[in-house]
């Protein structure tokens, strides 16, 4: 099939590469000429395991073409995927200017039937706006070419996006046209062979499904963090509680790990956007607002524990920070807990020595060169001259340190475990003070 994908960011590039890898002919369009040049050289501008090899293989095979020529893209594909960014406005609503700009471009240049597929995460009702934008552009040039608009939200986890696309749990398709649904089934057939994972529904329900899924997962995380904070005050161990409730199949173990807050490009943005959507419908989304508030509070938890341990005197101290990305297997630092922690430490007069397996370049892009920040090449280098260690992201490389060596290296002999990956007994046995999430009494 011939497919066009507008946007070469995380969602757009994964979509384009995986569809090309299934034998389709894909044109990927982006207005960023520098990014397109890098992609033509086989360079992926962000870290995602396995993606670069797929991009290189299909670009070299002629199945995946990168261009800044939007007209070429519109003329190429029966399927026109819109996978551009929808950054949050100041009020939390999704900014649709890029989505609608692509829709107008499609309307201005389409000469044959097109299926316009909204892949970007967008509020309920956006497909109606996309349909209208295409219609207005067509009307302006007197075109009567038919088209359909489909909502096809993505459910890609950073760090596992290729597997999520090629072996999906479900494929959500929102359309009111049975013919279009059949064409979408044909498109996704290579990823849908063992059993039918496609769920077809109306457009607005499909748009809401994406937000609902992320809001549910964010709610589970905030719920466990709320319980963890209560467990500390009650002298209970939240890890035991987690096992106790996770064994109930109605609850399960997924997304009930307490920590120092969620981040990334999806959960924070999507929860805010859903709250804003509710507000526009004159509905007070109390639970969702609480989910967001709990998460924002949780991001300050590690700093508060550090400040209490040192009796508020952090000026001149140095902290080793392990992990900068919002989660393992990605270099994404958007809304990351590490940013809240590190900037709070700086404001208190402390210095930071940090290491992350893949997010060092992104950290330098965000913060640049600073006297109070050393971005170092190894976890061990981060410990040099440090008073204490703060674990923020649970990369595997951080999970089995030599605690006795840590005790010899860290001048204040303290470990702050933001993801509960260490055994408190082992840490204490080495002569270190241990602070986890929901595992010790409040100081």
pLDDT band with cut points at 50, 70 and 90 for residue 21: very high
Catalytic (active-site) positions: 266
Q: How many CB atoms lie within 10 A of CB 212?
A: 13
Residue with tokens 């109606």: 128
Q: What is the pLDDT of residues 313-371, one digit of tens each?
A: 999 999 999 999 999 999 999 999 999 999 999 999 999 999 999 999 999 999 999 99
Q: What is the pLDDT of residue 443?
A: 39
Asked whether the beta carbons of 341 and 321 are under 8 A apart, the reply is yes
Q: What is the pLDDT of residue 89?
A: 80
The pTM is what? 0.93
Is it the case that residue 93 has pLDDT exceeding 90?
no
Strand pairing category for 2-6 and 351-355: unpaired
Q: What angle do helix axes 126-140 and 203-234 make, rounded to 10 degrees? A: 150
Enter the tokens of residue 166: 């090629």
Q: What is the pLDDT of residue 421?
A: 97
Is it the case that residue 196 has pLDDT exceeding 90?
no
Q: In sequence order, what E strands does 176-238 have?
A: 198-201
Q: What is the pLDDT of residues 264-312, one digit of tens each?
A: 989 999 999 999 999 999 999 999 999 999 999 999 999 999 999 999 9
* Overall average pLDDT of the 432-442 stretch: 86
């Amino acid at each position: 099939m011939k497919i066009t994908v507008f946007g070469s960011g995380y969602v757009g590039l994964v979509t384009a590469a995986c569809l090309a890898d299934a034998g389709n002919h894909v044109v990927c369009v982006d207005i960023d000429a520098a990014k397109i040049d890098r992609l033509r050289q086989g360079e992926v501008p962000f870290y995602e395991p396995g993606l670069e090899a797929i991009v290189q293989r299909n670009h070299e095979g002629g199945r995946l073409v990168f261009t800044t020529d939007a007209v070429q893209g519109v003329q190429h594909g029966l399927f026109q995927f819109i996978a551009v960014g929808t950054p949050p406005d100041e009020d939390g609503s999704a900014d649709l200017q890029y989505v609608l700009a692509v829709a107008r471009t499609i309307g201005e240049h389409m000469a044959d039937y097109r299926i316009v597929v909204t892949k970007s995460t967008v509020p309920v009702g956006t497909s109606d706006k996309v349909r209208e934008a295409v219609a207005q552009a067509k009307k302006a040039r007197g075109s009567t070419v038919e088209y359909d608009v489909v909502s096809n939200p993505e459910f890609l986890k950073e760090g596992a996006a290729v597997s999520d696309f090629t072996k999906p749990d479900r494929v959500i398709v929102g359309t009111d046209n049975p013919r279009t649904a059949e064409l979408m089934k044909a498109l996704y057939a290579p990823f849908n062979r063992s059993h039918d994972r496609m769920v077809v529904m109306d457009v607005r329900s499909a748009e809401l499904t994406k937000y609902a899924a992320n809001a549910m997962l964010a709610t589970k995380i905030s719920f466990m963090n709320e319980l963890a904070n209560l467990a500390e005050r009650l002298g209970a161990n939240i890890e035991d509680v987690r096992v106790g409730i996770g064994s109930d199949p109605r609850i399960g173990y997924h997304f009930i790990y307490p920590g120092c807050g969620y981040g990334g490009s999806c959960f924070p943005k999507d929860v805010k956007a859903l709250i804003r959507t509710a507000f526009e419908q004159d509905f007070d989304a109390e639970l969702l607002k609480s989910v967001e508030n709990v998460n924002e509070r949780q991001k300050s938890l590690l700093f508060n524990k550090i400040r209490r341990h040192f009796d508020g005197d952090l000026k001149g101290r140095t902290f080793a920070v392990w992990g900068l990305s919002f989660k393992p297997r990605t270099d994404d630092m958007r809304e990351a807990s590490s940013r809240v922690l590190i900037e709070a430490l700086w404001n208190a007069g402390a210095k930071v020595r940090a290491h992350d397996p893949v997010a060092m370049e992104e950290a330098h892009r965000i913060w640049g060169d600073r006297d109070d920040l050393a971005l170092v090449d190894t976890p061990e280098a981060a410990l040099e001259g440090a008073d204490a260690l703060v674990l923020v992201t649970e990369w595997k490389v951080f999970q089995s340190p030599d605690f006795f060596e840590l005790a010899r290296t860290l001048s204040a002999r303290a470990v702050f475990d933001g993801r509960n990956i260490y055994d408190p007994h082992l840490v204490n046995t080495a002569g270190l003070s241990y602070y986890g999430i929901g595992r010790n009494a409040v100081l």
